[in-house]
Amino acid sequence: MAKKTAKKKQKRKVSLWVNLFLILLIVMSAVFLPVAVILFIGLLPTFVVFFVDQNKKKIKAVTVGAMNVAGCMPFIMELWTSEMSMAKALSIIIDPMAIIVIYSAAGVGYLVDWAVTAFVSRFLYQRGVSRIHAIEKRQKELIERWGEEVSGRIALDHEGFPLDDTDVVSAASEDS
């Protein structure tokens, strides 16, 4: 019962932080509306992958999001260094080159996720294969040292001693 109460308190605590973050995000979006417009349009691939990614930790969303934000930054810097107005933000967003750069950065995030996932899976597979070979080698050494009884391929009695062929036949006749 205490665990359920602790989980509810933790959920309320997390929920409180999420609500505070959302309130802060709304206030900051209102204050910096031109930046919010560029980020909203620019981060559409990140929003999509966040909802499509079925991984609990949302690794792909983080990778794509990081690259997507990196693609948005030059245009946000351009907005900050020039006039900070909605007209400038909209002129940046309707520029096809800006959209291509921003969305291409998100595509690079997809490529990074794909390449790293493939590399790590190959590495872990090879590590597993080498571990299997090491275990088989060690098993052969143990069989040479202790005999075929340690291999697990010989039938053993309840005390761990190998059964003779006559014992197997008599045990089979006793079972029937």
Q: What are phi and psi of 162, to 5 degrees?
A: -65, 145
At 8, is the pLDDT very low, low, confident or very high (cuts 50, 70, 90)? low
- Beta-bridged to residue 162, according to DSSP, are 156
DSSP character for 43? Answer: T
Least confident of 55-69, 132-146, 150-164: 150-164
What is the spatial distance between Cα 102 and Cα 42, in angstroms, rounded to a whole number? 6
Q: Could you tell me the pTM of the whole model?
A: 0.67
Mean pLDDT throughout 71-97?
93
Chain Cα centroid distance, residue 149 = 44
Q: What is the pLDDT of residue 21?
A: 78
Q: What is the distance of C-alpha 13 from the center of its chain?
A: 25
Q: 14, 111, 2, 19: which is closest to 60 by C-alpha?
A: 111
